[in-house]
Amino acid sequence: MKILQTMLLGSAALAVLTPPVNAHFRLLEPASWIEEDRLGDPQKAAPCGGVAANPGKPTTTVTRVQGGDKLHIKIQETVYHPGFYRIALAINSRAELPPDPQPKIENLPAGPRSVSGMIQYPPLPPVIADGLFQHITRFEKEVETDIELPNVDCAKCTLQVIQFMAAHGLNKEGDYSYHHCADLNIRANPYKPIDTRFPAEKK
């Protein structure tokens, strides 16, 4: 597996010059599996958000899509922090989702702080896209992209969207990432080959 470490230029300086703050984002498309407030909370805990004090209220929303098609991803960063985003897909269980991006950290008097995170390039399943929306300045509006879904069948699989934060102190429940998920119902396109890089759906 080829791994590249992306150094977010300026993040080290930001780590020294700015006090610890939390970054937040909202998953706007596809619909989140739990109800989000105006900041996107609760979102700290892996793999799909929530916190110990508030695991989140499920929306029961399942987005129906066809395998091999494009899926629109739209997020709103509600509290700025430099970083990037990663998207992964679990077919049968959220246990299939990968660990959060490995951080490079620096030890400061106030505690450890992230400098950068590891990005998969090219992304390998279950990761679909990595290093999205890299930024060291505030987004002026929502950001969005289209990703190609694998051609698979799954009645209720989990699409995970996480934000890795550089220049950020350690979160008790989420390390250096924030997490959102969406429940998908994917029906394979019978005219395309099945993507065997992903596990088959368990009946």
Encode pLDDT of 67-124 as tens digits.
999 999 999 999 998 999 999 999 999 999 999 999 999 999 989 999 999 999 999 9
Contact indicator for 48, 58 with CB cutoff of 8 Å: no
Q: Is residue 199 part of a domain?
A: no
Element (H, E) at 183: strand 177-187
Q: Is residue 39 part of a domain?
A: yes
Question: For the whole prediction, is pTM greater than 0.95?
Answer: no
Q: Is residue 153 part of a domain?
A: yes
Q: What is the pLDDT of residues 148-194, one digit of tens each?
A: 999 999 999 999 999 999 999 998 888 999 999 999 999 999 999 99
Q: How many domains does the chain have?
A: 1
User: Residue 178 is part of a domain; what is its CATH number?
Assistant: 2.60.40.1930
Q: Is residue 158 part of a domain?
A: yes
Question: Domain range for residue 143?
Answer: 3-12+24-187
Q: Is residue 89 part of a domain?
A: yes
Contact indicator for 163, 177 with CB cutoff of 8 Å: yes
Confidence at residue 125, expressed as pLDDT on a 0 to 100 scale: 97
Nearest to 77 by CA among 141, 10, 145, 8: 141
Question: Under DSSP, is residue 122 helix (H, G, I), strand (E, B) or coil?
Answer: coil
Q: Is residue 202 part of a domain?
A: no
Confidence at residue 81, expressed as pLDDT on a 0 to 100 scale: 87
Per DSSP, which regions of 39-174 are E strands?
A: 62-66, 70-79, 83-90, 103-108, 111-120, 127-135, 143-148, 154-165
Burial class of 203 by CB neighbour count within 10 A (0 to 12, 13 to 18, 19+): exposed
